[in-house]
Amino acid sequence: MTRPIGTLALATALAATTFAPAAAIAASNEDQARVTTSAAAASAANTDIKPPVAEKRPHTYTHHGITIEDPYDWLYDKSYPVIDDEDVLNHVKAENAYFEAKMGAQAGFTEALFTEMRARIKEDDSTVPQKDGDYIYWSEFEEGAQYRKHWRKPVAGGEAQLLLDENQLAEGQEYFSLGAASVSQNGRFIAYSTDTNGSERYTARIKDLASGEHLPDVIENLRGGLVWVAGDSALVYTPSTEEWRTLEAKLHVIGTPAESDVTLYKEEDQSFGVGTGLTAQEDWLIIATGDNETSEVRLVPAANPTAAPILVKPRKKGIEYSVDVRDGELWVWTNDDHINFRLAKAKLDTPGDWQTVIAGSDDFYLTGFELFKDFFVTEGRLNGLDQIQLRQYADPGKVTPITFPEASYTAGLSNNPEYDVATLRLSYQSMVTPSTVLDYDVKTGGFTTLKTQEIPSGYDASLYTTERVSVQARDGTMVPVSIVMRKDRADILKKAGIEGPGPLHLYAYGAYGYAIPPGFSTTRLSLVDRGFAYAIAHIRGGDDLGRRWYLQGKMFERTNTFNDFVDAGRGLIAKGYTAEGMVTASGGSAGGELMGAIINQDPKQYGAIVAHVPFVDVLNTMLNKDLPLTPGEWQEWGNPITSKASFAYLLSYSPYDQVEAKEYPPMLVTAGLNDPRVTYWEPAKWVARLRELKTDDNLLLMKTNMGAGHGGQSGRWNSLKETAEEFAFILWQMGMAPKTDAE
């Protein structure tokens, strides 16, 4: 636990946060979930409730000589991040009441799905213990618990010690998320941060593990990691500005007031974000800054963090790099001379003189590296499949690939906190193989399976089949699609009274170079076991097939992402996996934008759509430089303030602006009132315009989590309940839910 964040691709990862999936975010407590469920059940009889109609208030704006009418602009509370406009809150609450009334009829089915999904989860589960220094660390869920407990015990033997109990920290909170957690190198302290409203503005505290008491130190309003430096006497952190931007790296000396914290680095470019970490040997502090396409890194001795930093190489637009240090030698991962990145080395006294160790390749996409004492590892993708490669410092061109048995899978380095190791901790899974934790013996090449995801209600992989097919997009590009389904799917559908091709659920993300791996999911089985095929479209905008695949889905090529998804669905229909109107689809955040674009383009293909926290008011958000992360997003989407071409292109596909008077499929839309990534008014405005213009009677529901943010509710059971709601909606709209008295 002494390396709080990875050192690879640091600056790039920092910038891709506005509309990217929020990791490890959960939600409100169990009582709140029961209240919501009972409210929905109580409303079940009210099936004739009318959907809320948002008032239209005249509002226009003009840029580049183009005037746009935006009658739902008032749903954006201008006092944000404070949301206290009564009209706004009343409308959001009215939408929630409508959601509860309509979904109330499916309360029993939702509960049955939740019970089914919960039965597949081992309640008293724990991670595989991992050695880090003098201790072995692990975390666990107790039966029935919403959150984890974090433990350690000495390698030399002794009693287990409770480090943190998330359940205790979450007590009395509607929402809880543990952010960073970092144990000091001497093992005495743990610094950790928490968020209790979903705004992703964390508060950090320090616990003395010897006494069990907290130190008086409190650091408010931060994002990112907590890095121990200066012999465990200080922490480096990245505070958040009022606009939710990380523009500084600050040093907090333990026992001093936070007001006296020293700024180690301050970024002047509002579009850049700052992050920090330690090198492999933990002797250098990395201070990285960057946006979605440009990086700049500085190094400071971890023992003397206020020393003058070493600038590795000045920023140059479009050049990304991240670094590590081994025995005083700088290692660099960069795209400076190849789109798929190369690995280079340099001396610390000439850090910008990069000499190639592994050249960039048209075939192999190098996604990162990790340094260990006696060897190093490169990771990447070949033909879209994960690769883990073992290499020796004396002969880095000689590759020992770590191979896996299945034709389609996802694999990577797992938790490897120590520098001097003889085994590597790996993770592996496929669409039919549950998550597996492995140890790989570097010397012998042998595997030891440490844990395979346990499914208490039972799982037989032989009942399922997975395929990887290619579908031709309209511009001739072949788009890969990963599919899982039951081998006896036809029999299941026949028993359900469905003749011919059955339903297929299509999922994608398609932004920021974020690849969706063909991994395992227990919740997915609730669709697949009912005869659905489940497909992941590896569309452009992700980097599934290399960096160019990502670049072909951003800026002025953004519509390739939407076209790929629509064409993937059409291709699967043509191949007989499903039929017109039998495709259901879901996506969140930038994937929610995808949902908005595809229903504008080809609504007849879909039988039901779920859009989670959808980034659908694209043009307005990119025009508003005062919103939390807009300046950092211009490199991904374009800047419509300065560029007429960007303005016109964003307008041409922005889902909110392109809603038309036509039929749309049934839809479930979610939002988080405290969401700093995709603000609540984006889905609210979009739903209001859809209600105004759509010409069908299909169900359109919107649910806003009033005490949560981008990731929905927290706590594993509350989060699972929301997945059950989503699947209940899909199955209901596809005519595959049990009949209710109201029907």
598-636 per-position pLDDT tens digit = 999 999 999 999 999 999 999 999 999 988 778 889 999
pLDDT of residue 244: 82
pLDDT digits (tens, 9 = 90+) for 656-674: 999 999 999 999 999 999 8
Looking at residue 4, its pLDDT comes to 29
| Backbone dihedral angles phi then psi of residue 218, each to the nearest 5 degrees | -140, 130
Average pLDDT over every residue of 565-593? 97
The phi and psi torsions of 68 (rounded to 5 degrees) equal: -115, 135
Distances (CA, A) of 501 to 471, 534, 610: 18, 13, 22
Cα separation, 577 vs 698, in Å, equals: 25
DSSP 14: H
Q: Residue 316: CB partners within 8 Å, gap ≥ 6?
A: 294
When pLDDT is averaged across residues 323-334 and rounded to a whole number, the result is 97
Angle at 41 between CA 39 and CA 42, to 5 degrees: 65
Counting Cα atoms < 13 Å in the Cβ hemisphere of 521 gives: 21
Q: Do residues 105 and 44 touch, judged by C-beta distance below 8 A?
A: yes
- State the Cα angle at 690 between 686 and 694, rounded to 5°: 165
> What is the rounded distance in angstroms from the CA atom of residue 320 to the CA atom of residue 513?
13
| Proportion of the chain above pLDDT 70, given as a percent | 92
Question: Residue type for 369, please?
Answer: F
Residues tagged active-site: 589, 675, 710
Handedness of CA 304, 306, 310, 316 (dihedral sign): positive
Q: Locate the DSSP E strands across 423-547.
A: 423-429, 436-441, 447-452, 464-472, 478-486, 504-507, 533-537
Q: What is the pLDDT of residues 173-227, one digit of tens each?
A: 888 889 999 999 999 999 999 998 888 889 999 999 999 999 999 999 998 899 9
**What pLDDT score does 676 carry?**
79
Q: Report the predicted TM-score, pTM, of the whole model to 2 decimal places.
A: 0.89
Residue with tokens 């504008």: 600
Neighbours of 678 (CB within 10 A): 27
Q: Which of 667, 647, 672, 666 is nearest to 657 (CA)?
A: 647
E strands within 117-213?
Answer: 130-132, 135-140, 149-154, 161-165, 177-183, 189-195, 202-208
Q: Per-residue confidence at 23, pLDDT binned at 50, 70, 90?
A: very low
Residue 488 has pLDDT above 60, yes or no: yes
pLDDT reading at 324 higher than 90? yes
Higher pLDDT, 308 or 499: 308
Does residue 710 have a pLDDT over 70? Answer: no
pLDDT of residue 35: 30
Q: Measured between alpha carbons, how far is 13 from 514 in angstroms, rounded to an integer? A: 10
Which residue's entry shows tokens 């739902």?
72
pLDDT at 408 (0 to 100)? 86
Mean pLDDT (the chain, rounded): 90
Comparing 34 with 466, the larger pLDDT belongs to 466
Statement: residue 27 has pLDDT above 80:
no
Q: What is the mean pLDDT of residues 571-597?
A: 97
End-to-end CA distance of the chain: 55
Residue type, 412: G
At 40, is the secondary structure helix, strand, or coil? helix
**Superfamily per CATH, domain 31-119+480-733:** Alpha/Beta hydrolase fold, catalytic domain (3.40.50.1820)
Per-residue pLDDT at 254: 96
Is pLDDT above 60 for 129? yes
**H-helix or E-strand spanning residue 174:** none
Tokens encoding 123: 């309640």
Residue 42: band (very low, low, confident or very high) from pLDDT cuts 50, 70, 90 = very low
Q: What is the pLDDT of residues 68-115, one digit of tens each?
A: 999 999 999 999 988 999 999 999 999 999 999 999 999 999 999 999
Closest listed residue to residue 16, CA positions, set 635, 728, 682, 446: 635
Q: d(Cα 208, Cα 161) in Å, to the nearest integer?
A: 12
Q: 572: pLDDT confidence band, cut at 50, 70 and 90? A: very high
* Residue 543 confidence (pLDDT) above 80: yes
Residue 695's CB is within 10 A of a number of other CB atoms, namely 10
* Amino acid symbol at 532: F
Would you say residue 313 has pLDDT above 50? Answer: yes
- d(CA 245, CA 242) in angstroms, rounded, equals 7
Note the pLDDT of residue 146: 84
pLDDT tens per residue across span 142-171: 888 888 999 999 999 899 999 999 999 999
For residue 268, pLDDT over 90 is answered with yes
Give yes or no for residue 306 having a pLDDT over 80: yes
CB 669 within 8 A of CB 611: yes
pLDDT at 515: 93
pLDDT (0 to 100) of residue 742: 58
- Of the pLDDT bands very low, low, confident and very high (cuts 50, 70, 90), residue 502 is very high
pLDDT for 709 equals 61
Q: Is the pLDDT of residue 243 over 90?
A: no
* Model confidence pLDDT, tens digit, residues 408-435: 899 999 999 999 999 999 999 999 999 9
Lowest mean pLDDT among 250-259, 591-600, 699-708: 699-708
Calculate what percentage of the chain has a pLDDT beyond 90.
Answer: 81
Pair 385, 408: CB distance under 8 Å? yes
Q: How much is the pLDDT for 686?
A: 98
Name which of 16-20, 304-308, 394-398, 716-720 the model is least confident about: 16-20
User: Would you give the distance in Å from CA 178 to the centre of its chain?
Assistant: 15
pLDDT at residue 351 tops 50: yes
Interval 40-65 mean pLDDT: 79
CA–CA distance, 299 with 236 (Å, rounded to integer): 13
Which whole-number Å values give the CA distances from 46 to 69, 111, 279, 541, in the listed order? Answer: 35, 19, 60, 43
Nearest to 728 by CA among 170, 142, 108: 108
Q: Are 667 and 599 in contact, with CB atoms under 8 Å apart?
A: yes
The total number of residues shown for the chain amounts to 743
Q: State yes or no: pLDDT of 1 exceeds 70.
A: no
Give the list of residues 6+ apart from residue 231 with CB closer than 8 angstroms, or none.
185, 303
**Amino acid occupying residue 270:** Q
